[in-house]
Amino acid sequence: MQEVLKQNIVEKRILAPRDSRKTIGNINVPNPRMVCRNVNVYYGDKQAIRNVSIDIGCNEVLAMIGPSGCGKSTFLRCLNRMNDTIDSCRVTGEILFDGRDIYDPSVDVVPLRAQVGMVFQKPNPFPKSIYENVAWAPKIHGIVESKSDTDEIVESSLQKAGLWEEVKDRLDQPGTGLSGGQQQRLCIARAIAVSPEVILMDEPCSALDPIATAKIEDLIEELRAQYTIAIVTHSMQQASRVSQRTAFFHLGDLIEVGTTETIFTKPSHQLTEDYITGRYG
Amino acid sequence: MDLGTRKILDRSFTAVGITSILLMAAALLVVIVPIFTGGIGAIFFKGTVEHRKLQYNEFGKGDLAVIRQQTEETDIYRNKVYAMLDAFESEMELMEPTEKKKYRSQYTKVRKVLAHLFGPLPGDMEPILLRYQYGTTRWEKAEEALHDLMFVSKWDYSNPDEMAKQYFVPRSDEFAGTALAALFPYMENSLEKMLLPEMTFYWGFITERSLDAHIFGGIWAEIQGTFFLAAGAMLFAFPLGVIAAIYFTEYAKDNIFTSILRSANSTLAGVPSIVFGLFGLAFFINTVKVSESKSVLAGSLTLAIMVLPTIIRAAEEAILAVPKTYKEASLSLGSTKWRTIMTVILPAALPGIITGGIISLGRAAGETAPIIFTAAVSVGATIGIADVLNSPTPALSWNIYNLASEHEAASEIRHVQYGMVLALISIVLLLNLSAILLRARISKKLKG
């Protein structure tokens, strides 16, 4: 990466000026799973997101990076309407999921959130057994009927999350007793147990040590084959390792979108370059 | 401030802290020890043959053969006393009227004490009140009565500058030279043989009803009444309180209406209990007419209103203490708000909610004022579960007050008062203990 950055300086490309707030780069993908157009988010009078438009493609990992308070987490939480739990929060614009606006008054958030799962910054397993943690959501959605169905879903979810080998002998023990990295993989297993189409990850590794982080990153790579993943991260190395496309946010604006390679090697916006070269953060 | 001063301050603060805790512990001991010893005295005591007769006649407990044999034994000695009384009475018949008058009042006093010790004497009318049908059932009371028999209490007014002093003169002096003079040494020597005191374990104090306004018998009616009232209060207050707490924490928006509700709840928690008692009478009995007059139902409802704010507050705190991440996790998995509350938030908050509930249960069991006008009667029969809708009930808290202040023979039945206090304290302590254990168990189950 260091060499790449040196090359950039040598090339002396002309970057978009720092005060340009229009999104640079191609926001479209050929086969979008989610389509966001002119999304604005307000907390009371304060606008947190301004006119963000972006597509999220099938089977891709979209990384969202940007300095603290840039609105990337807020935007992520719009995608499964988790912002609904905040009273003062208001969302305008369109977010289409499989062709339907998820903010349409007729949309029921319950099935939506089952299809668009979420993994949080801090591992948050329920204070129940490992088995119950994974089986809980399939049960409430009526996906499973018999005990054997449940066992099957628990096993396959834990396997997909790469946790099965570590916990198969102690499924009845509490999920909160696992290590931080295991807890986070348990949360991923819990999210994929209801067969979502999209998984949103909000800085999933920020509370984990490097080894646990590496395991989660490998897992994201594997999950990409089946799911669409949108990940918010503070670590640019992580974004470059796990994602195919990267979106750079700054103070509520989507500044630049592009393939991860382009963003990290040939950014077009001055702010993007400043951020990825570590001039601020 | 230099290091030396800080150290001195730290140490003196520690000393003051320890002293205050020790003082508190000492005060607690001063209160608890007499209650404990006095209360135990209601169950373990030296019971006389009269106690055993009473137990057999009223509750059908005890061995009839033994009681008969003991009655025969004691009658041998008692009959000698009765013979002396007869002899003295015949002697009085032959006296001059003035002399006779002189002895008459003293002799009445002697007869009264003897009737208190042995039950009705030969020639007495069959008494109506149960308390006069039996002699002294407890040995320490018999000893007190013996003292009354042996000595005449007099007051020394000789020094006008001092308070009058009580002094005792032997009663035998008054009867010197008569047939009754021999009674006093005889009584002193043979009282034990007339009453046959034995160490008694009277479990029935807890399981039997009281007889003749607590002169005899146990406190089961009070224990049961307390249980009905407290359980009834929780039946109403606990579900309502938890629902209100869920509303406050999960549904209420932050607006003026909610803050009015919240401060109303806090105010309600600070209202004196007697006000709840009057409210219960005015509202539940006079206005809503849940029952004709005092009833367990009305008392339970009043107690429920009284403990409701505490339950709401405790449940609210417990729900707020549940990590937000649980809720987020549940919602993000596509669970509805209701299901999130029922399956994630409430189970996690359960230890705190239950602790609040049991502490309120203890408070409901111990409160006196709310039930004075709504549920409690001083002397009453044991009621059945079917009567709770329209019958009042005796209850421990109210009867402790009643026995201490209004009972005509309060000084005779101190042991019953202590026994009731001990029973009430034990119930409340047991409830609190079970709250602690339950909490520990549920938390352990949640954490694993």
Is residue B90 in a domain?
A: yes
Distance set, CA A199 to CA A115, A138, A192, A196, A238 (Å): 8, 16, 8, 7, 17
Q: Are residues B226 and B140 in the same domain?
A: no
Quote the minimal CA–CA distance from B334 to chain A in Å: 4
Q: Is the pLDDT of residue A243 over 80?
A: yes
pLDDT in tens, B238-266: 999 999 999 999 998 888 999 999 999 99
From B160, B175, B202, give the residue that closes a domain.
B202
Is residue B271 in a domain?
A: yes
Q: Is the pLDDT of residue B431 over 60?
A: yes
Q: Are residues B234 and B293 in the same domain?
A: yes
Q: Are B212 and B379 in contact (CB under 8 A)?
A: no
Among B160-164, B213-217, B418-422, the range of highest mean pLDDT: B418-422
Can you tell me the distance from the alpha carbon of A58 to that of A32, in angstroms, rounded to the nearest whole number? 6
Q: Are residues B311 and B188 in the same domain?
A: no
Q: Is the pLDDT of residue A190 over 90?
A: yes
Q: Domain of residue B189: give its range.
A: 45-202
Categorize the per-residue pLDDT at B125 as very low, low, confident or very high, splitting at 50, 70 and 90.
Answer: confident
Q: Are B448 and A176 in contact (CB under 8 A)?
A: yes
How many other β-carbons are positioned within 10 Å of the β-carbon of residue B365? 22
- Region B203-226: mean pLDDT is 89
Is residue B2 in a domain?
A: no
Quote the minimal CA–CA distance from B342 to chain A in Å: 12
Among the partner residues A113, A127, A174, nearest to B333 by beta-carbon distance: A113
Q: Are residues B369 and B429 in the same domain?
A: yes
Q: Are residues B157 and B248 in the same domain?
A: no
Q: Are residues B261 and B183 in the same domain?
A: no
Task: Of B39, B156, B171, B44, give the one whose Cα is nearest residue B110.
Answer: B171
Is residue B18 in a domain?
A: no
Question: Which amino acid makes up residue A153?
Answer: I
E runs forming strands in chain A: 32-43, 46-57, 61-65, 89-97, 100-101, 116-119, 198-202, 228-232, 245-250, 253-259
Q: Is the pLDDT of residue A7 over 80?
A: no
Is residue B283 in a domain?
A: yes
Least confident of A17-31, B56-70, B320-334: A17-31
Categorize the per-residue pLDDT at B297 as very low, low, confident or very high, splitting at 50, 70 and 90.
Answer: very high
Q: Are B211 and B205 in contact (CB under 8 A)?
A: no
Chain B residue numbers with beta carbons less than 8 Å from the beta carbon of A191 are 332-333
Q: Is A67 on the interface with B (CB under 8 A)?
A: no
| Residue from A76, A82, A107, A128 to probe the interface with B (highest B Cβ count within 10 Å) | A128
Among the partner residues A87, A114, A125, nearest to B253 by beta-carbon distance: A87
Q: Is residue A180 within a helix (H) or strand (E), and if so which, with residue range?
A: helix A180-192
Q: Are A83 and A77 in contact (CB under 8 A)?
A: yes
Q: Is the pLDDT of residue A40 over 70?
A: yes
Average pLDDT, whole number, for chain B?
A: 90
Q: Is the pLDDT of residue B280 over 90?
A: yes
- Region A224-246: mean pLDDT is 92
Q: Are residues B388 and B443 in the same domain?
A: yes
Say which residues have a Cβ less than 8 Å from residue B176's Cβ, sequence separation at least 6.
Answer: none
Q: Are A176 and B447 in contact (CB under 8 A)?
A: yes
Interchain pair A114, B447: CB under 8 A: no
Can you tell me the distance from the alpha carbon of A65 to that of A75, in angstroms, rounded to the nearest whole number? 11
Is residue B73 in a domain?
A: yes
Categorize the per-residue pLDDT at A85 as very low, low, confident or very high, splitting at 50, 70 and 90.
Answer: confident
What is the number of alpha carbons within 13 Å of residue B220 lying toward its C-beta? 17
Can you tell me the distance from the alpha carbon of B205 to that of B203, in angstroms, rounded to the nearest whole number? 5
Is residue B340 in a domain?
A: yes
Q: Are residues B372 and B258 in the same domain?
A: yes
Chain B residue numbers with beta carbons less than 8 Å from the beta carbon of A173 are 448
pLDDT of residue B157: 86
Quote the minimal CA–CA distance from B350 to chain A in Å: 12
pLDDT of residue B100: 85
Is residue B99 in a domain?
A: yes
- Region B400-405: mean pLDDT is 89
Say which residues have a Cβ less than 8 Å from residue A73's Cβ, sequence separation at least 6.
Answer: A202, A203, A232
Largest interatomic CA distance in chain A: 65
pLDDT of residue A87: 83
Long-range contacts of A81-88 (CB under 8 A, 24+ apart): A81/A109, A81/A112, A81/A113, A82/A113, A82/A118, A82/B328, A82/B331, A82/B332, A83/A41, A84/A109, A85/B327, A85/B328, A85/B331, A86/A43, A87/B253, A87/B254, A88/A43, A88/A44
Quote the minimal CA–CA distance from B324 to chain A in Å: 9
Can you tell me the distance from the alpha carbon of B143 to that of B112, in angstroms, rounded to the nearest whole number? 15
Say which residues have a Cβ less than 8 Å from residue A42's Cβ, sequence separation at least 6.
Answer: A48, A89, A90, A91, A92
Q: Are residues B376 and B287 in the same domain?
A: yes
Instruction: Check which CATH number belongs to the domain holding B420 and give it.
Output: 1.10.3720.10
Chain A residue numbers with beta carbons less than 8 Å from the beta carbon of B254 are 87
Q: Are residues B267 and B327 in the same domain?
A: yes
Chain A residue numbers with beta carbons less than 8 Å from the beta carbon of B347 are 127
| Through-space distance between the first and last CA atoms of chain B, rounded to whole angstroms | 48
Can you tell me the distance from the alpha carbon of A189 to that of A155, in angstroms, rounded to the nearest whole number? 9
From B171, B202, B233, give the residue that closes a domain.
B202
Task: Of A279, A237, A226, give the one whose Cα is nearest residue A260.
Answer: A237
Q: Are residues B268 and B191 in the same domain?
A: no
- Please count the structural domains in chain B: 2
pLDDT in tens, B349-384: 998 999 899 889 999 999 999 999 999 888 777 788
How many other β-carbons are positioned within 10 Å of the β-carbon of residue B279? 17
| Residue from B258, B333, B342, B343 to probe the interface with A (highest A Cβ count within 10 Å) | B333
How many other β-carbons are positioned within 10 Å of the β-carbon of residue B313? 20
Q: What tokens appear for B82 in the block?
A: 């009765």
Categorize the per-residue pLDDT at A83 as very low, low, confident or very high, splitting at 50, 70 and 90.
Answer: confident
Can you tell me the distance from the alpha carbon of B145 to that of A269, in angstroms, rounded to the nearest whole number? 107
Interface pTM (ipTM) of the complex?
Answer: 0.85
Chain B residue numbers with beta carbons less than 8 Å from the beta carbon of A112 are 334
Q: Are B115 and B124 in contact (CB under 8 A)?
A: yes
Chain B residue numbers with beta carbons less than 8 Å from the beta carbon of A139 are none
Categorize the per-residue pLDDT at B180 as very low, low, confident or very high, splitting at 50, 70 and 90.
Answer: confident
pLDDT of residue B424: 94
pLDDT of residue A17: 82
Pick the more confident residue, A171 or B386. A171
Pick the more confident residue, B151 or A18. B151
From B202, B234, B253, give the residue that closes a domain.
B202
Q: Is the pLDDT of residue A10 over 60?
A: no
Q: Are B356 and B314 in contact (CB under 8 A)?
A: yes
Categorize the per-residue pLDDT at A3 as very low, low, confident or very high, splitting at 50, 70 and 90.
Answer: low
Say which residues have a Cβ less than 8 Å from residue B73's Cβ, sequence separation at least 6.
Answer: B193, B196
Q: What tokens appear for B410 in the block?
A: 């309060």
Q: Is the pLDDT of residue B181 over 70?
A: yes
Q: Is the pLDDT of residue B395 over 80?
A: yes
- Region A32-61: mean pLDDT is 92
Backbone angles phi, psi at A56, to 5 degrees: -120, 120
pLDDT of residue A25: 87
Q: Are residues B270 and B402 in the same domain?
A: yes
Q: Is the pLDDT of residue B236 over 90?
A: yes
pLDDT of residue B441: 85
pLDDT of residue A2: 57
Q: Is the pLDDT of residue A8 over 80?
A: no
pLDDT of residue A12: 61
pLDDT in tens, B16-57: 999 999 999 999 999 999 999 999 999 999 999 999 999 999
Can you tell me the distance from the alpha carbon of B388 to that of B403, in angstroms, rounded to the nearest whole number? 24
What is the number of alpha carbons within 13 Å of residue B373 lying toward its C-beta? 17
